[in-house]
Every structure is written in C-alpha cells, then in structure tokens.
C-alpha cells in the first residue's frame, strides 16, 4: 500500500523590500549592512544575517570562510550561536538573510543552507515558538516564511533520539 502526501508551505513574496513592514525592512537592512563584513574570498558570496531577539537586541553575523572549507561558517550560524551564547534566555523572533557578490548577480531571495536550517530549527524547537525568516538577495523579491519548520520539512529532531 502506498499513500501520497502533499505538503503545503506558506511563503509570502514581496516585490521588493519597500513593501515590507517597517520592522522587517529594518532587520533586513541590518543584514545587508553586516554582509559587507563577510570574509568570503573563495565563494565571493557575501552573506549577512540579522536576528531580532525578544529582549529587543539585534544580533548580526556574516559568513567566515576558511581555506580548509569545512572550517568556515555561514552567516546564519555565526549569528545564532552568538545569540545562544550571549542571550540564552531570549527568544529569537525573526531572522533576515541576504547575500550579494561583487562578481555575479544575486537577484533572487537567498535560502539558508541545509546545515543552517537544522541549527535554526534547534533554536526554534528549544524556545517553542516560531522564528520568522526574511530572505532577499542583493536586489529584487523578498521571501518571508513564518517558521524554520516550514523551511525544513521532516526535521531530524530530539524525538528521534528518545529511548522507549
Ligand atoms: Zn548555512
């Protein structure tokens, strides 16, 4: 016997950042600003991430590459781990992610990589409230999703490790 499952995921798409509500746009602008600090000599893909915490703090991060490729880390994890280390009691309300390159166009909403989705889901699960995700490239459309879980269907989570 076989069943077919169809997943429904809500994605809001805005023509550009001018159509966003003020708090989302200002967080995205922080992500754009911090992307300038990216150390990305290998990919030339400069990524910025900005988090809004429940305490009101804004945490930012950019990608930090390394000649030993796996030793580098993405902008999202730079920011999430900083928030986890320094604001362990605050919830992460939303994250804005953006990227640009001086060598090629990034005119589509960038998506967090699989490893970052797993990490972000851990924080969403831990705080038991959704984290809104705002995604943009260097220009063009903005994609918004209301939770990390929407970005990572069939998550690997703690229930997989429970012993019954
Ligand atoms: Zn990543």
- Please tell me which residue in 52, 76, 122, 124 is annotated as part of the active site: 76
Contact between 63 and 40 under an 8 Å Cβ cutoff? The reply is: yes
Report how far ligand 1's centroid is from the alpha carbon of 120 (Å): 10
CATH number (domain holding residue 92): 3.40.140.10
Residue 162, in any domain of the structure: no
Q: pLDDT digit string (tens) for 22-52?
A: 999 999 999 999 999 999 999 999 999 999 9
Per the structure, how many domains does the chain have?
1
Q: How many CB atoms lie within 10 A of CB 48?
A: 29
Write out the residue range of the structural domain in which residue 118 sits.
12-151
pLDDT band at 162 (very low <50, low <70, confident <90, very high): confident
Is residue 164 pLDDT above 70, yes or no? no
Q: pLDDT digit string (tens) for 131-160?
A: 999 999 999 999 999 999 999 999 988 888
76 is catalytic: yes
Contact between 94 and 134 under an 8 Å Cβ cutoff? The reply is: yes
**What would the two tokens of residue 82 be?**
């900083």
């Amino acid at each position: 016997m076989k069943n077919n499952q169809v997943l429904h995921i809500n994605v809001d798409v805005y023509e550009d950042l001018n159509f966003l509500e003020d708090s989302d746009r200002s967080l995205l602008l922080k992500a754009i600003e911090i992307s300038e600090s990216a150390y990305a000599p290998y990919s030339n893909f400069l990524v910025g991430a900005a988090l809004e915490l429940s305490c009101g703090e804004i945490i930012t991060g950019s990608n930090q590459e390394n000649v030993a490729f796996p030793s580098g880390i993405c902008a999202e994890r730079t920011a999430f781990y900083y928030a986890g280390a320094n604001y362990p009691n605050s919830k992460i309300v939303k994250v804005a992610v953006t990227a640009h390159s001086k060598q090629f166009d990034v005119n589509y909403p960038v998506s967090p990589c699989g490893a970052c989705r797993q990490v972000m889901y851990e924080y969403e699960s831990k705080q038991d409230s959704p984290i809104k995700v705002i995604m943009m490239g260097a220009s063009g459309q903005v994609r918004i999703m209301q939770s990390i879980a929407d970005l990572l269907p069939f998550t690997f989570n703690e229930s997989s490790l429970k012993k019954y």
